[in-house]
Structure 1
Amino acid sequence: MRFFKVFSIVLLALSVSACSSKFKTYKGPEVTQVIVFKDARRMLLMHNKQVLKDYRIGLGFRPTDDKKIRGDGRTPEGNYRIDRRNPNSNFYLSIGISYPNANDIAEAKALGQSPGGDIFIHGRPWKDRKGGRDWTAGCIAVTNREMRDIYSMVGNGTPIQINP
């Protein structure tokens, strides 16, 4: 009887820990593109022309216009790729955007500045849970629950188009 109680407790603990994992498995259609509409604060995960998911997003703390230089608080606009993943992000989970591209570097250089970098799609840390809609330094923010889905669905190399 005692063995059964111990076994039940261990099984229950494993079940609860499995449910709380931030890593999900996705077996649906491939995400072939991510499309961001900054003015509408929306991000779409696409499979060809089909919308798989539609998310409300937060942007940089200066959401209008295109990112030009490091520290301007703007989210970049243009065509990039998802190029890295961070499972231990300070912002829950994050996937990297290949900003800056050659055009971004040239624009910043013409201004005598650095274009910056480290632009991600990420979750929201506990300290920023009530940070308002546009609070990042230029990244694209979603809820942690949404980020679990995005992290599992969007692979490295996926194109991302960020529109004004």
Structure 2
Amino acid sequence: MFRYTIMFLILLSLGLQANFSSYADKVIIKKSTRMLYLSSGGHIFKRFHVSLGTIPVGAKEVEGDLKTPEGKYILDWRQTSKKYNKSIHISYPNKKDEAHAKQLGASAGGMIMIHGTPSSWGLSPIGDWMPMLTDWTEGCIAMSNDDLEEVWNQTTKGTPIIIIP
């Protein structure tokens, strides 16, 4: 019996270690449900509520349209920010986005980020989750600072991100 207990504890610790050290190999944003999913090996292992651009329906077409892009991109760099705590850059626009904006006679824009909420919002007695009840960004994807910390820790430069309607 003792041997089985030891074997069980070893197997349990291996499973927990694998879980804590896992990274997402893909990030999926589903705009219609305002959810961000972390996926590894084709399995979703974390989900988070997000807010989008103030005009959430439809793909971003041009700079200033207040829409969140749709398509396949890469998380290509990250930074700490006084305004939004931390932020992870999305490689928008891609060549298709640029060509479409050019056809419309405009710039596609850029600087689309996954970011937290302003530090001052965390001083509210209700915390920084309240902004997640509405879409308020200029096209970025916003989430609570605690949730962003998890995404920050479980993604790396080069992680693919897919944003779907």
TM-score by length of 1: 0.80
2 CA distance for matches of 1:157 and 1:110?
29
* Deviation, structure 1 residue 126: 3.8
1:34 counterpart residue number: 27
The alignment status of 1:153 with 2:146, answered yes or no, reads no
Aligned partners of 1:59 and 1:141 also within 8 Å = yes
Number of residues of Structure 1 aligned to a counterpart in Structure 2: 139
Unmatched runs of 5 consecutive residues or more in structure 1: 1-25
* Deviation, structure 1 residue 50: 1.7
TM-score by length of 2: 0.80
* Deviation, structure 1 residue 27: 4.6
1 CA distance for matches of 2:20 and 2:106?
43
Aligned partners of 1:58 and 1:136 also within 8 Å = yes
Alpha-carbon RMSD across the aligned residues, in angstroms, is 1.6
1:156–1:136 CA distance, 2 compared to 1 (3 A): same
Runs of 4+ with deviation above 3 angstroms = 126-132
Matched to 1:148, the amino acid is E
- Sequence identity percentage: 39
Kindly indicate which of the two structures has a greater share of residues assigned to helix.
Answer: 2
Aligned partners of 1:57 and 1:133 also within 8 Å = no
1:89–1:126 CA distance, 2 compared to 1 (3 A): closer
Structure 1 window deviating more from structure 2 (28-37 vs 122-131): it is 122-131
2 CA distance for matches of 1:127 and 1:74?
25
Matched to 1:102, the amino acid is K
Unmatched runs of 5 consecutive residues or more in structure 2: 1-18, 122-127
1:104 counterpart residue number: 97
1 CA distance for matches of 2:82 and 2:75?
16
1:127–1:137 CA distance, 2 compared to 1 (3 A): farther
Aligned partners of 1:43 and 1:56 also within 8 Å = yes
1:89–1:111 CA distance, 2 compared to 1 (3 A): farther
1:55 counterpart residue number: 48
